[in-house]
Structure 1
Amino acid sequence: MTEAEKHLDLPLEDVLGDRFGRYSKYIIQERALPDARDGLKPVQRRILYAMLQDGNTADKPFRKAAKTVGNVIGNYHPHGDSSVYEAMVRMSQDWKGRNLLVEMHGNNGSIDGDPPAAMRYTEARLSSISAEMLRDIEKNTVEHIPNFDDSIEEPVVLPAMYPNLLVNGSMGISSGYATDIPPHQLGEVIDAALMEIDNPDCTVEDLMTVLKGPDFPTGGIIQGRDGIKKAYETGKGKVAVRSKTEIETLRGDRKQIVISEIPYEVVKSNLVKRMDEIRFDKKIDGIAEVRDDTDRTGLRIVVELKKEADPTGVLHYLYKNTDLQVSYNFNMVAIHNKTPQLLGLKQLLQAYVSHQREVVTNRSRFELDKAEKRQHIVAGLKKAISILDQVIETIRGSNDKKDAKTNLMNSFEFTEEQAEAIVTLQLYRLTNTDVTTLEKEAEELEKNIKKLKDILSSEKKLLSVIKNQLTYVKKTYNDNRLTKVEEEIEELKIDLEVMVPSENVVVTATKEGYVKRTSIRSYSASNEDPPGMKETDDLLYFDELNTTDTLLLFTKKGQYLYMPVHELSEVRWKDNGQHIGNIVQLDSDDTLVKAVPVSTFNDDQYLVFFTKQGMVKKTVLSAYKAQRYSRALVAVKVKQDDAVVNVELTNGQHDLFLATNHGYGLRFSEEEVAPIGQRAAGVKGINLKDGDFVINGIVFDSNHLPNVAVVTHRGSVKKMPLSEFERSTRAKRGLVMLRELKKNPHLIAGLEKITNESGILRIETENGHVDTENIGVMKKGDRYSNGSFLVDTQENGTVTNIWPAIDYQSLNKKNENID
């Protein structure tokens, strides 16, 4: 074979697909997911088996953890020592497992997330209940396979005398699969298994009469029986897990919330830190102090309240905004018949019972074989004693052991096994007492053999053995349920007016998406310096609001961010603030277009949306009050080639004005736009020519017509009164607002309503240059005027955008255009 013929020419996709497929199969079957029969992952099984082989059991002294880790790595699990030690530690942590399989001396971590001590400092041994996991493993109860180097054998699965997967639960992530099975109370799980054995047709509803739901080692309260039932039926479901709390009254009518149990898998120190951050950031009023009083007597977190605080309101806020209450998602995936499967409660119990059938059958066969061999030997010994003189004479007349055996077999028809037993018999066994003992043993063996044969031939007796085993484990190891199960998930109602400290603050939002609230004190001490922001950034919103208010931030893609002012980070005036991307996930190509402050979400105010393609939508303001706002919400349905250009708050009786790039303006009554739902797209506001698009849309009081500032792409600026435009109807072309030029006509780059005649207009060109123009000195022009050239477009490029500069040196009143 030539050198070239040794190499295969294969497509990269095929090679990668094949290799990743093999890797995935290994990860799924041999690392991350538990077996449905014994509830263990391979590393956990190997740890328990290695400790048993080493005699490191519950009735022996503790041994260094490092010794066990070395044995596991050297004999069964050729991976890193940290993966083995971490698995071993987890099996010993009483806040992770319900019935621990490993006992450990020394620092094995804590519920605060502290790491365990190194394995050279800790000691471990099997727990007493691990004996039930490994019981009779030496009796060929389970299949054994060669280890990684074929030097010894290891079990494929443990005998597991109780349903460990449900009792201790499991968590794991592999490629394409993840599992999350909660722990349960041992006695309840065994009762469910017994019910499944006695009545294979029982329903999940029947099983739930004995198995109430998960039982976490950290206690707590589970809410949502329907979620548990769905999980037990399908393998997937969701429940709420909340802390066990109590409101205590102190001297002087002050109250405190005492937390004695927290949800499963919650790190206590992080929970305490988060609650203290809420106190420190003044997200709600009423928390005086948060402290962790946990000691050797048990977990205890105290939230001390101020005298006037509402303890139930504070508690509900903490439930909603911290890990004091969490959602637990069942995802009961386990390896069953060598494949990963999503299993309901019945399937898990059936997999366990089926495994026990095999275990008991294999053990019975092993014991029957052993008993029959012994029965054969006993029969030979009894016969030998009955003709003892001849046997002794035959042995004395033989040359050696082999010859003696042969002579016995030939003279008295003993089998080879019987002859071996006779020649190795000790002389003291020839007493009368021993004859009686042999006869008793023969009777016992006869009974035992009959019993074992009955088990192997009768399904009913086989199941009876399994039931007896389960009953024994329950009687020996049962304990009390720790987690309370409640029928319904309580709706968390929070009265923010009571909870939030009412305080006036300065709120800013920038075009690049930085938001913050600043104390009046920090703002006043700024010496009229500009607020902290990037050089390329500019203010989108600035005003004094109350912490009970809400800021709605609208984006060009038609989404909005719901931001209660009290939840904004309090940042100094000179600092940048928090980027919205750290609060709410937003598309990378989406940008903010408008910020609208709201004090109350009532039904007599509306939000009006204007889009680039001339659509107008009006929706009642109360539709935008959000209960959950951890992500961007839909404000208006926008087509793919469209974008929101402005959002205005209105009372429903104003006029609307739309301005287009080609110089058309249309004014019509707001009443022509009927209110519609939050997610709708709106109606056509203006009829556009091909290639034309809306630059801006504004709202104004028809009794007080404002001026607008118009800037063209050629750098021409004019101030124009809206009285130039007669009120028309929507979906028309509109009136021209520029003088038509045949050569190089003006296109409108921006139009803004003038609310402050002494304000500043900022004009941006295509190369990023920003000009500022004083609105007060701008010349007024009619519809047919093109204005005055104020921006040098030869040097700086064409005008792309305009906006009124926000005067951060004095706090503005609320929007003047709203009555």
Structure 2
Amino acid sequence: MAPALKSQLDSSIQVIEQEAIDLKNKFASPRRSILEDTDDGQLEDIDVIPNEEMLLTLSEKGYLKRMKPSTFNLQHRGTIGKSVGKLKMNDSMSDFIVCRAHDFVLYFSDKGTVYSARAYKIPECSRTASGTPLVQILSLSDGERITSIIPVSEFTDDQFLLMLTMQGYIKRVPLNSFSSIRSSGIIAIQLVPGDELKWVRCCTNDDFVAMASHNGMVILSLCIQIRTLGRNTRGALAMRLKEGDRMASVDIIPAAMWNNLETISKLPESNGKSYDGPWLLFISESGHGKRVPLSRFRMSSLNRVGLIGYKFSAEDRLAAVFVVGFTLAEDGESDEQVVLVSQSGTVNRIKVRDISIQSRFARGVILMRLDHAGKIQTASLISATECEPEEELAIAQG
């Protein structure tokens, strides 16, 4: 029996060797991964979390939500939108931004303090959930309220944070001044009683800035004209506001976009026909909006009255303004989308190309029917690169 068993064993080994050789020849592609030794042999959370796009919403009472962009499908202009979820009593929407999971989110408070936390630290939740209280994420002091949030992917030496308050004070601070923020926060700006930091944007020395007031006045200026100051300063006046007016919005115009802009349009402003972009997208509190070519606005220095950008009815005022036309389709139209958010938390996501191009004095078209949803509280722009292909085809009949 022993010789027979040995013969069977030898035959089995030969078969195994041949199968191994066949597998090697069949799957002879080179290794696609690298085995490396790490310093401590441990993985951080960020190493295993996909850097996906996400939506962040913040309520006035400090409830924060993280959702997928697909939570809100595209809808036709003029529809009523979809609820972002039930808000607490006497609460309303405050801010809405688009970011990525690995981004640092900077939180600016009504006391001029800034806090920082990675976007993925915010628990993901459904559209109808209440959200996570900010006090569970940030070390806020008693009564402290977050007034503005901004995502930052990387703290580079050539970028600045442009800060604008409700009363019109503006300044630039080097972005790397906020690269290391302790858990208790650091000072970002000096505020006087009654004023609050509402808008923060990233810019470079070569960029331009568009600022708009609640009454629809607009100033375009060079970012380099805005003084670079330290964190513990107030800033200079951005716009000469008339009595009862206040700042309403600000956005950055990239240098490349402005350099390609034709300053003299071929068509007269009064005919209401189509113009080449880029454009300023105006959104009013009543849910109306329009696009106006940037070429219809001239450069100005700070602390001026500005030009009329929107002619409002007696009850309406400006909610937000954006520079659109960063990405264009083959037909020369905008590829971007805009998300509108009402005070009650109703959200409408529409294509920018569906918004009419009009003159500075026009009153716009209906973007969102508010009914009992209150006013437009905030809005956010979604670039074409942040839209998944299937999302662009998902037009809800709202």
TM-score range, shorter chain: 0.5 to 0.7
Deviations 1:304-361 (A, max 9, x none): xx983435x98xxxxxxxxxxxxxxxxxxxxxxxxxxxxxxxxxxxxxxxxxxxxxxx
- TM-score, with length taken from structure 1: 0.33
- Structure 2 residues without counterparts, runs of 5 or longer: 1-34, 74-83, 88-92, 259-277, 328-333, 390-398
Q: Distance in 1 between the 2:211 and 2:166 partners?
A: 10
Contact 2:308/2:361, CA 8 A, preserved across alignment: yes
Deviations 1:568-618 (A, max 9, x none): 26757888875431122335462342222232x232111101111111110
1:621 Cα deviation after fit: 0.8
Of residues 602, 619, 639 in structure 1, which corresponds to 2:173? 619
1:561 Cα deviation after fit: 1.6
Of residues 380, 383, 393 in structure 2, which corresponds to 1:804? 380
Contact 1:539/1:806, CA 8 A, preserved across alignment: no
Q: Distance in 2 between the 1:500 and 1:765 partners?
A: 33
Contact 2:95/2:149, CA 8 A, preserved across alignment: no
Q: Is 1:310 aligned with 2:39?
A: yes
1:758 Cα deviation after fit: 4.4
- Cα distance change of structure 1 residues 510 and 658 upon mapping to structure 2, 3 Å threshold: same
Of residues 638, 648, 655 in structure 1, which corresponds to 2:201? 648
Deviations 1:18-63 (A, max 9, x none): xxxxxxxxxxxxxxxxxxxxxxxxxxxxxxxxxxxxxxxxxxxxxx
Deviations 1:682-701 (A, max 9, x none): 11111111111000111112
2:305 match: 733
1:727 Cα deviation after fit: 0.5
Deviations 1:495-552 (A, max 9, x none): xx99973754335532234366x9xxxx7xx9x5569x74446983344344xx5332
Alignment of 1:29-428 (within 5 A): 308-311=37-40
Deviations 1:71-101 (A, max 9, x none): xxxxxxxxxxxxxxxxxxxxxxxxxxxxxxx
1:663 match: 216
Deviations 1:139-160 (A, max 9, x none): xxxxxxxxxxxxxxxxxxxxxx
Alignment of 1:462-541 (within 5 A): 501=47, 504-506=50-52, 508-512=55-59, 513-514=63-64, 528-529=70-71, 534-536=85-87, 540-541=96-97
1:605 match: 159
* Greater C-alpha Rg: 1
Of residues 238, 245, 262 in structure 2, which corresponds to 1:685? 238
Q: Is 1:779 aligned with 2:356?
A: yes
User: Which has the larger share of strand?
Assistant: 2
Q: Is 1:748 aligned with 2:339?
A: no
SS of 2:363's equivalent in the other structure is coil
Q: Is 1:544 aligned with 2:273?
A: no
SS of 2:281's equivalent in the other structure is strand
1:760 Cα deviation after fit: 4.3
SS of 1:704's equivalent in the other structure is helix
1:728 Cα deviation after fit: 0.8
Percent identity among equivalent residues? 17
Q: Distance in 2 between the 1:584 and 1:810 partners?
A: 31
- Cα distance change of structure 1 residues 515 and 735 upon mapping to structure 2, 3 Å threshold: same
SS of 1:501's equivalent in the other structure is helix
- Cα distance change of structure 1 residues 652 and 529 upon mapping to structure 2, 3 Å threshold: same
1:763 Cα deviation after fit: 4.3
1:718 match: 290
Contact 2:199/2:249, CA 8 A, preserved across alignment: yes
1:759 Cα deviation after fit: 4.4
Contact 2:147/2:198, CA 8 A, preserved across alignment: no
> What's the Cα RMSD here?
4.0
Deviations 1:174-222 (A, max 9, x none): xxxxxxxxxxxxxxxxxxxxxxxxxxxxxxxxxxxxxxxxxxxxxxxxx
Q: Which structure would you say has the larger RCO, counting Cα contacts within 8 Å and 6 or more residues apart?
A: 2
1:702 Cα deviation after fit: 4.2
Q: Distance in 1 between the 2:44 and 2:144 partners?
A: 39
Contact 2:105/2:119, CA 8 A, preserved across alignment: yes
Q: Distance in 1 between the 2:108 and 2:311 partners?
A: 34
1:634 match: 187
Contact 1:569/1:577, CA 8 A, preserved across alignment: no
1:707 Cα deviation after fit: 1.7
Deviations 1:690-734 (A, max 9, x none): 111000111112441432221334543211122211011011111
Q: Distance in 1 between the 2:256 and 2:147 partners?
A: 31
Deviations 1:225-283 (A, max 9, x none): xxxxxxxxxxxxxxxxxxxxxxxxxxxxxxxxxxxxxxxxxxxxxxxxxxxxxxxxxxx
Contact 1:667/1:727, CA 8 A, preserved across alignment: yes
Deviations 1:662-688 (A, max 9, x none): 221111111111211112111111111
Contact 2:209/2:253, CA 8 A, preserved across alignment: yes
- Cα distance change of structure 1 residues 714 and 550 upon mapping to structure 2, 3 Å threshold: closer
- Cα distance change of structure 1 residues 542 and 768 upon mapping to structure 2, 3 Å threshold: closer
Contact 2:215/2:312, CA 8 A, preserved across alignment: no
Letter in 2 for 1:610: L
Q: Distance in 2 between the 1:499 and 1:767 partners?
A: 35
- Structure 1 residues without counterparts, runs of 5 or longer: 1-305, 315-496, 812-819
Q: Distance in 2 between the 1:578 and 1:764 partners?
A: 19
Letter in 1 for 2:159: Q
Q: Distance in 1 between the 2:338 and 2:344 partners?
A: 18
User: Which has the larger share of helix?
Assistant: 1
Q: Distance in 2 between the 1:679 and 1:591 partners?
A: 18
Letter in 2 for 1:308: D
Letter in 2 for 1:783: R
Q: Distance in 1 between the 2:65 and 2:153 partners?
A: 16
Q: How many residues are paired up?
A: 307
2:79 match: none
SS of 2:117's equivalent in the other structure is strand
1:640 Cα deviation after fit: 1.9
Letter in 1 for 2:188: A
- Cα distance change of structure 1 residues 577 and 767 upon mapping to structure 2, 3 Å threshold: closer
1:590 match: 145
Q: Distance in 2 between the 1:606 and 1:672 partners?
A: 13
Contact 2:214/2:246, CA 8 A, preserved across alignment: yes
